[in-house]
Structure 1
Amino acid sequence: MAWSFRKRIKIIPGVHLNLSKSGISTSIGVKGASITFGKSGTYLNTSVPFLGLNSRYKLSESSPKPETYNQEQPIELFGNIFSADIQEITSQNMQGVKEAIILAQEQKKELKSDLLKIQTTLGASKTKLLLSYVFLYGIIKKQIPIQLKTDIQAQKEAIDQTKEQIDNCYVKLEVEFEQEIKEKYNTLVQTFKNLTTSHKIWDVTSAHFQDRVAARSSASTIVNKRDVRFSLKSIKEIRSDFEALYFENANGADLYFYPSFIIMYSNKTEFAIIGLDEINLQQSYVRFTETGIVPRDSKVIDRTWAKVNKNGTPDKRFKGNYQIPIAKYGQINLRTNTGLNEEYEFSNYEFTEEFSQAFRDYQALIKQLN
């Protein structure tokens, strides 16, 4: 009997975002059935096109190695700076998107297990074929190698099909913009691209008060921060014409900004999805007492001394006391009521300001649509 492999594949629902002046709708599903999230509530949509049948059922109401540096002025919060448990952060109206991603991950895992089994079977079939010639029974009984060759061909085809199915385990994200909204989003993306070119980008992981008098320093705050990378990058489980704005996180889940939501992604089982309208972005600048090399795209706005008196003059009790530059860095804080809490600094203040303004402009438009 010829070897055969059959696998029932679940249809992974896609996500369709429609951003228009009439509101934002998020449809999750495939032709025939979908779930729509809109400002009037959550609906199940079903249709049988060839019979001309369409139905809509309301489901629910809408729901609303680290380096240490000195910083002259304190930030709002002291202590470690990190977000809450990622399992608690997902927005209620984004659960459908999260479930679609989980389905893609589970199916990919199952298919990879199937692929391993087929590859093992193929190896065994090849060994049997070889042995049939070595021990001559394949020459005497010719139908044995013929059947094995048929099985091997079927197994190779099954491997190709399974690999193709694995490659198709993703959520397709489609986005439709009205022109005004698209222009705002394009501005956001362009300012983000500029921001990624900052010579230095840091994730601030903690901040602690410093007794300036005891330390003989002009800085009242000590912050710990690590170099991180920003880029255009998407998670593997989502494919779209729009790449996400990627924020690396030094002490937690990375952030991926999509047109109407943010994915905090740590790994395949630990991620959260937050509505863009829920983000509280605060932007400012810091006067940073830079004990290292001042980045080439930063501005030195003042100078202090390694050991300084309370009134700002150099402490002459310390021999070899030297001046230290004070650089102007951009700062962004990202928070939500559900527990997102991240802080970044950038060597290029102007790019930080431009991106933050573009984000607020785009977010304000999104909030109007909700």
Structure 2
Amino acid sequence: MSKTFTHPDLLLTVKGNVLSNHEENLDSSMYEDAKNDGKNLAVNILNKLFNKIEYGKIESDFNTERLNSSNFKNIREQIIKLHFQRETVGTEAIKYSKSLDFLSQELNKTQKSFFRFLFKKKIQRLTYEVEQNRNDLDAIKEVEKESYLNITYEYSSIKLKEKYSDLISAFTTLKGSSKIWDMTYSERNMETKSAAQTSMSRNEVEFSFNSIKGLQTNEKSFQFENFNGGDFYFYPNFVIYFKTKEDIAILDYNDLQLDYSVSRFLEESQDIPADTKIVGETWYRVNKDGSPDKRFVNNYTIPIVEYGSIHLKTESGVNELYYISDIQKANHFSEQYNFYQELLKNS
């Protein structure tokens, strides 16, 4: 297999003082080139293996605003190429897998037939075809397995390496919080008697150690799940916003700001996380002085809790707000992120 395919390798040095330009993005022609290169590379690899694959017209229709930092355009182009390559190879693997299942079932049925002695040639042919399809599928899966971008990181200083290690440690603690929510919507509450001045929509998400498919590195990376958009993948010298293979951006740490604050929340849910701090209570219907409005018979108390708020944003359009049940873990991670970001800027 190494004779037909070699995965790309990149050596990146983690350091600061990299110029960033929000306005310069991977334009549509470069995107199309990367996309088509990925598909064509996969077709060429598969043709070398089997010389019997046909594909129709390649076309796309999209117009997406890009959030990229310009200094990572080459890496983004490589990732786009990689994902379309993997998609093409994966589609072929599915086709061969279905064919193998069909032939295997046909062979099994024929071998168990009461008249199997009449079908010796058919059994012989099916046995050969099953074995051939299995070998072909194994070859395609090997290509799929080797379709990845390998990035090796080197650090310009021991301090940078240590600070990234501190960030990883802080994330390990952060992801262990009982609850993490993606806050997806907020509006002013117009009910004059309601204790909550703002109504917010939230969805529980996960933070985990993860990487986008097909990208391998010698350092750990971690993921912020995003309920209503692309997920964020953090690597030593950039952050990838990945929604689909056609909607991807690479962000410089210098561009991605992380703001931390403590937010008070009226938690009506009976399942308050064990690591959440309860700081008081109020009533569902209240008077201006904070006392319960006795006109409402079924009025009830609502715990007031504190959550750690992590706000990711860029000037180019990133705007994501997360609530963390454990304020200390959220604060510690935010501090380590900003320490690492500052060190990158000044290195």
TM-score, normalisation: structure 1? 0.69
Aligned pair 1:258/2:235, yes or no? Answer: yes
Distance change (3 Å), C-alpha of 1:135 and 1:272: same
Give 1:155 deviation, angstroms.
6.2
Q: 2:144 aligns with which of 154, 161, 166?
A: 166
- 1:14 paired with 2:9, answer yes
Task: Give the deviation of 1:18 after TM superposition.
Answer: 1.1
The aligned counterpart of 1:108 is: 86
Q: Secondary structure at the match of 2:290?
A: coil
* Per-residue deviation, 1:101: 1.3
- 3-state DSSP of counterpart to 2:341: helix
Structure 1 SS opposite 2:181: strand
The sequence identity of aligned pairs, in percent, is 33
Q: Report the CA distance shift for 1:223/1:176 in structure 2 as closer, same or farther (over 3 A).
A: same
In structure 2, relative to structure 1, the CA distance for the partners of 1:219 and 1:174 (3 Å cut) is: same
Q: Pick one of 252, 255, 268 that aligns with 1:291.
A: 268
Alpha-carbon distance, 1:187 to partner: 1.1
Counterparts of 2:92 and 2:300, CA distance in 1: 67
* Structure 2 CA distance for partners of 1:320 and 1:134, relative to 1, 3 Å: closer
SS at match of 2:140: helix
Amino acid at match of 2:14: L
Greater share of residues in strand? 1
TM alignment of 1:175-186, pairs within 5 A: 175-177=153-155, 178-186=157-165
Is 1:273 paired with 2:250? yes
RMSD of equivalent CA atoms: 3.5
| Pairwise CA distance, 1:305 | 1.4
Q: Larger deviation: 278-287 or 317-326?
A: 317-326
Q: Confirm or deny: 8 A CA contact 2:20 2:69 kept in the other structure.
A: no
Q: Aligned in 2, Cα 1:86/1:368: closer, same or farther, shift over 3 Å?
A: farther
3-state SS of 1:277 partner: coil
Cα offset, 1:167, TM superposition: 0.2
User: Tell me, what secondary structure is at the counterpart of 1:215?
Assistant: coil
1:360 aligns with 2:323: no
* Paired residue total: 295
Is contact 1:307-1:314 (8 Å) kept?
yes
Deviations 1:324-344 (A, max 9, x none): 211011101111111111000
- TM superposition shift of 1:219: 2.1
Displacement after TM superposition at 1:246 (Å): 0.9
Cα pair 1:86 1:272 within 8 Å, conserved: no
Equivalents in 1 of 2:120, 2:301: separation in Å?
Answer: 89
State the shift of 1:96 in Å: 1.1
Partner residue in 2 for 1:230: 207
Residue aligning to 2:49? none
Among residues 223, 237, 240, which one is paired with 1:246 in the alignment?
223
CA shift, 1:270, in A, is 2.2
Q: Which residue of 2 aligns with 1:49?
A: none
Q: Which residue of structure 2 lines up, in the alignment, with residue 47 of structure 1?
A: none
Pick closer, same or farther for the CA change 1:92–1:182 going to 2, 3 Å.
same
Match of 2:76 in 1: 98
Indicate the structure (1 or 2) with the bigger Cα radius of gyration. Answer: 1
Instruction: Flag structure 1 segments of 5+ consecutive residues without an equivalent.
Output: 1-5, 25-37, 42-84, 139-144
Where does 1:1-370 land on structure 2 (aligned, <5 Å)? 9=4, 11-20=6-15, 23=16, 87-115=65-93, 157-177=135-155, 178-211=157-190, 214-293=191-270, 294-369=272-347
- CA shift at 1:91, angstroms? 1.8
* TM-score, normalised with respect to structure 2: 0.74
